[in-house]
């Protein structure tokens, strides 16, 4: 099943995925609040999203995802990170994962990727 392969790929390569996103977050002029964070803090934040994503994909409930992102939004708001930067950072994670999956040949079609 594709979703199981995807979950395993995310779990097995979470560190590599994290490093790629950190480079993007630190260099993109649209994410200045993320430039101020240490590599360790960025690694923790990014890795936790990828690590949890694998778990979320393997479940049938959206409640854990909703709860996690609600908590994330509250923490970023308390830190003074503008919403547009939080959304952009999450989109960067998504796009980096999508590109990574495509480059590894895990998905053969746009339909599989959408699923």
Using one digit for the tens of pLDDT, what is the confidence trace for 17-69? 999 999 999 999 999 999 998 999 999 989 988 887 767 766 777 888 888 88
Q: What is the pLDDT of residue 54?
A: 67
Using one digit for the tens of pLDDT, what is the confidence trace for 72-90? 889 999 999 999 999 999 9
CA distances from 105 to 3, 31, 55 (A): 14, 30, 22
Q: What is the pLDDT of residue 22?
A: 94
Boundaries of every domain in the chain: 2-114
């Amino acid at each position: 099943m594709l979703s199981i392969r995807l979950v395993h790929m995310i779990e097995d390569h979470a560190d590599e995925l994290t490093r790629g996103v950190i480079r993007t977050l630190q260099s993109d002029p649209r994410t200045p609040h993320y430039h101020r964070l240490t590599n360790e803090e960025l690694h923790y934040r990014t890795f936790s999203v990828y690590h949890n994503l694998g778990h979320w994909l393997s479940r049938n409930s959206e409640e854990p995802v909703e709860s996690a992102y609600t908590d994330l939004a509250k923490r970023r708001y308390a830190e003074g990170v503008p919403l547009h930067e939080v959304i952009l950072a999450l989109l960067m994670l998504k796009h980096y994962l999508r590109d990574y999956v495509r480059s590894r040949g895990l998905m053969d079609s746009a339909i599989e990727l959408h699923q």
